[in-house]
Amino acid sequence: MPDDGKRAPASPRRQKRATIRDVANASGLALSTVSNALTNRRYVSDVTRLKVLKAATDVGYRASKIARSLRTHRTYSIGILVGDIANPFFPELVRGVEDVASTEGYNLILCNTDYREDKQRTYIEILRDQQVDGIVIASQIQKSDDILSMVEEGLPLVMINQRYPGTVTDYVGVDNISGMKETCEYLWGLGHRRIGFIQGRKGSTAAQDRYDGFVKAMESLAGGHDEKLVQPGDWSYTSGAKAARRMLAMVKRPTAIIGGNDLMALGAIEAIQEFGLRIPQDVSIIGIDDIFVSAMPWASLTTLRHPKWTVGATAAKVLISRINNRDAPISRIIIPTELVVRATSGAAPVPAD
């Protein structure tokens, strides 16, 4: 391509930013006085302050966060580790984090781990080198030594729906156990006796908790569960469809299926329709999370709502409190889920057998 003459605005390469020294010169005051006037850390007479303020706006001064960080060891940025922002579960949660972070003057560095330990490790190193003030961990990876070493280092950390055996950190999550109990009882009350469950990605604490909740609930309702009716998935739509197909192909197929998340439940709907079965007359299907799709009329998925924004916002608040007070007691906040009944669940079919 020949150069068409369009170029980046020629000379105005990074124009020099005004520094605190410029303000000092413009106002005829000392650096320290300018700094104190601007940051309100020490008493400065009103007349001096006004002089400083005027000089600052005159020269267009904005403090360098970098220089400040080097000196104060605070960056006012926090990192967040998520599995994949393109998974519809995360954006709302991240919004919650970002909303309170930005209100509190922090900015948010987004890291997608793809649920991989090596990526998580790399990101954690980067965030530490960056000297973030804290990290929100929502990546769902169950084990990682890096987490331990951060805990030892005293770096503020908050876990979302994720625990590390052997470490005690601030935690925000939903009560998957009770949620699953409510869900199973609801189905049981509708007459369902063969209830299937599609598990989430292996290695995720949330997947484990939801499974445990299912097992426990079925234990108390039915005295146990049929492990063949538990099929593995990986949170994705297609994995949900596949898991459901396996269950529906059984001689004694379930009359209700709980997806470990909405995406898998939605995939299961596709499978159920493939089998020529009606929802909910033949098979009921329930998801977990309540992503925005689930509320749309053609999905209208009954689901156990996970208050994602609130969880994210709460995690950010907890993290920031921790940053401001390292010695406060550990907090462990459990946010309730809510069963949202829509069109995909109903009474169990009259048993044919």
Burial label for 217, CB within 10 Å (0-12, 13-18, 19+), is buried
Footprint of a copy of itself on 308-347 (CB under 8 A): 322, 326-330
User: What is the C-alpha to C-alpha distance for residues 250 and 181, in angstroms, rounded to an integer?
Assistant: 25
Task: Give least dist CB 298 to DNA, A.
Answer: 55
Burial label for 119, CB within 10 Å (0-12, 13-18, 19+), is middle
User: What is the C-alpha to C-alpha distance for residues 219 and 286, in angstroms, rounded to an integer?
Assistant: 19
Task: Give least dist CB 62 to DNA, A.
Answer: 7
Of positions 41, 105, 145, 165, contacts DNA by CB under 7 A: 41
Of positions 10, 47, 251, 296, contacts DNA by CB under 7 A: 47
Of positions 30, 31, 50, 70, contacts a copy of itself by CB under 8 A: 70
The DSSP call for residue 62 is -
Task: Give least dist CB 132 to DNA, A.
Answer: 15
Task: Give least dist CB 316 to DNA, A.
Answer: 24
25 contributes a contact to DNA by CB under 7 A: no
10 to 29: interface string for a copy of itself, x by CB under 8 A: x-xxxx--------------
- Number of other CB atoms surrounding residue 343 within 10 Å: 13
Look at phi and psi of residue 105 and say left if phi exceeds 0, alpha if psi is from -120 to 50, else beta: left
Stretch that binds DNA, among 59-67, 148-156, 250-258, 337-345 (CB under 7 A): 59-67
Task: Give least dist CB 128 to DNA, A.
Answer: 11
Footprint of DNA on 65-94 (CB under 7 A): 67-68, 70-72
Look up tokens 């990074």; give the residue. 14
Q: Hey, is 26 helix, strand or coil? A: helix
Do 83 and 119 form a contact (C-beta atoms < 8 A)? Answer: no
Q: What is the DSSP string of 218-242?
A: HHHHHSS--GGGEEE--SSHHHHHH
Specify the amino acid at residue 139. S
Stretch that binds DNA, among 27-35, 102-110, 155-163, 190-198 (CB under 7 A): 27-35
Considering the complex, state which of residue 78 and residue 258 has its C-beta at the smaller distance from a copy of itself.
78
Q: Which residues bind DNA (CB under 7 A)?
A: 16-17, 19-21, 28-33, 35-36, 38-39, 41-45, 47-48, 61-64, 67-68, 70-72
